[in-house]
Amino acid sequence: MAVASAEKTARPTRKSRGNFFTLQHWWGILWVLPSLIAVMVFVYGFIGWTARVSVSAWKGLLADYTYVGFQNFTDLASDQRFAIDVQNTAIFTVVFVLGCLGLGLGLAILLDKGIRAEGFYRSLFLFPMAISFIVTGVVWRWLMNPAQGDRLSGLNLVFDKLGLDFLVNSWHGTPTWGIAAVAIPAVWQMSGYTMALYLAGLRAVPESLREAARVDGASELQVYRKVVMPLIRPVTLSAIIILGHISLKVFDLIIAMAGKQVALDVPAIYMWTTTFDGFFFGRGAAIGIVLLLSVAVLVIPYLWYTLRQESDT
Amino acid sequence: MTTLSAPGSRRAWVYIPLTMMALFYLVPLYVMLNTGFKSFDEVSLSTMWNLPSGFAFDNFRAAWEALRPNLWNSVKIVVPAATISSVLGSVNGFVLAKWKFKGANIVFPVLLFGMFIPYQAVLIPLVTFMSKIGLAGGTWGLVLVHVIYGIPITTLIFRNYFATIPETLIEAAKIDGAGIFGTFTRIMLPLAIPSFVVVYIWQFTSAWNDFLFAVVLTNTENWPVTVALNNLAGSQIIAWNVQMAASFLAAVPTLLIYVFLGRYFLSGMMSGALKE
């Protein structure tokens, strides 16, 4: 028995290859098969189906798979509403990603100073993650109430009382830039998460490196700029990808804050309303595919890189 | 790995920005609770920041009346979804980490990609398909959808956990004559209890907070709390103060989980970024 076990552990590769034709090997496949089939159908199969709908003339309640080529896509390219969507997504993404990165990194650096009650602060910054975008949207909708004059309320009321009148604004009611106001609650919700990513990154920087820089006469600022920042650049990259793909998909938050206003429209909402309110299935599918491709461009290289790195170690 | 310099005197300033930010994060919670505990007479937009003069439950009572059936619908969706997800995830994670077959390293990323897709890209087929099999409209359809689209993240969390378990343990079990079933149930499952907690609360939270699937797949009487809350907030009849109380009620279950099991919640979040 002992000999057999020693031999087995000594040559794991040969053993597992030998395993290929055994019953045990097929058991493994059998166990993941239900999930694999479910994902193949509900993810890949449905994506293929959506792609088929996106090149069809389907309009109205009855399915119509008449092939129309890329008509739905070229229509989108000249669609005024879709142009607003793209602009809104761009503004939202910039404010949301920069806001989360800035706040997240700032908070992580402060928390990394070895303070008392670190756990307490960390939990406070992270709790919004547990709440739904719908709840966040409903509450912030009242905090960002744009009413002026004697109906002033929410944050505008605070600004007014503090004598910061110049900050009183109409929030998401602002033309063109209103979408930036919607990004504020999104930052409120996700910056704690970014903080947690950065904090883990900072903790992985060996203290000896910082100490060495200090011994060489570097100021605390230089330690961060020259030693710490370059080492946590991968964290920034993953945070940008995670946050970026969230902002491409933003949907519930805007619905809860502002309903279906065209001024605050994004592709995810356009897809929903044009498909399920307007029954323009072909167009809805085309928007879905555009969204998917933009997310895939961000995520697939990230997945590939992360998994390759994992298998190297 | 704290800094060498002692906390205290020199670092005291750090608490100023931290506390200010803590207040910023607490503002929405303050508004929800503060408004919730005012009586109907006391509620007014112009005094929304003032503390209530006493504890009244008018708003919470009204919100509870409005949301009660939907809170129950959410429970009916979330509990089975999280339970089934945990079981499926543990099976997949175990096989992909410890019972690897040829091609396991391809299957894993293929599963994983499903975690990132915008669901708008599958919505039309999903609704068509679910209507065809008779699962559109009710709560069970939503359970199925949460389980299936939860496969990537639950598999990922379990796989990363099982990967840390030493290979020798599996070898020993095999030598003792244990097959895949015995190895899984007798050796791996007892070790994986922390991962079950992580996956369960992750799936619980994301299903509880879901809006998109629910809004296209359930009919009015089966609406979970997120859809009902959004509907209530969009109506002209329900006053803003009741909306605040209702938002708090909708957030309570996941907030409680966060307060008591925050560590596990964070661990699930980090795996979502493919980070440990």
Residue-range domains of chain A with CATH: 80-256 (1.10.3720.10)
The one-letter code for the residue type at A284 is: G
Nearest-Cα residue of chain A relative to residue B115: A43
R_g (Cα) of chain B, nearest Å: 23
The more confidently predicted of residues A43 and A211 is: A43
Of A41-50, A268-277, B224-233, B263-272, the least confident: B263-272
Is the per-residue pLDDT at B10 higher than 80? Answer: no
H-type alpha helices, B9-118 = 15-36, 58-98, 104-113
Angle subtended at Cα B184 by Cα B182 and Cα B187, rounded to the nearest 5 degrees:
85
Nearest-Cα residue of chain A relative to residue B154: A35
Q: Give the mean pLDDT of A295-300.
A: 94
Domain spanning B62-272, CATH architecture: Orthogonal Bundle (1.10)
CB contact under 8 A, B4 and A38: no
Closest partner CB to A158 (pick from B49, B100, B152): B49
Backbone angles phi, psi at B237, to 5 degrees: -85, -35
ipTM: 0.92
Q: How far is B176 from chain A (nearest CA, A)?
A: 10
Closest partner CB to A143 (pick from B11, B27, B102): B27
CB contact under 8 A, B251 and A63: no
Domain-by-domain residue ranges, chain B?
Answer: 1-56, 62-272
Q: How far is A139 from chain B (nearest CA, A)?
A: 6
Closest partner CB to B113 (pick from A152, A252, A303): A303
Q: How far is A222 from chain B (nearest CA, A)?
A: 16
Closest partner CB to B17 (pick from A53, A110, A292): A110
Q: Residue A134 corresponds to which tokens in the numbers above?
A: 């719908």
Helix (H) / strand (E) containing B126: helix B123-132
Of A9-13, A145-149, A267-271, B189-193, the least confident: A9-13
Is the per-residue pLDDT at A240 higher than 60? Answer: yes
Q: How far is B11 from chain A (nearest CA, A)?
A: 8
Give me the DSSP letters along A121-166: HHHHHHGGGGS-HHHHHHHHHHHT----GGG--HHHHHHHHTT-GG
Contacts of B11 in chain A (CB under 8 A): 113-115
Is the per-residue pLDDT at B3 higher than 50? Answer: no
Is the per-residue pLDDT at A214 higher than 50? Answer: yes
Q: What is the pLDDT of residues A217-237, one digit of tens each?
A: 888 889 888 899 999 999 999
Q: Give the mean pLDDT of A169-196.
A: 93
The pLDDT of residue B157: 94
Q: What is the pLDDT of residues A31-88, one digit of tens each?
A: 999 999 999 999 999 999 999 999 999 999 999 999 999 999 999 999 999 999 999 9
CB contact under 8 A, A127 and B255: yes
Q: What is the pLDDT of residues B77-100, one digit of tens each?
A: 999 999 999 999 999 999 999 888
Contacts of B218 in chain A (CB under 8 A): none
The more confidently predicted of residues B183 and B76 is: B76
Whole-number average pLDDT of chain B: 90
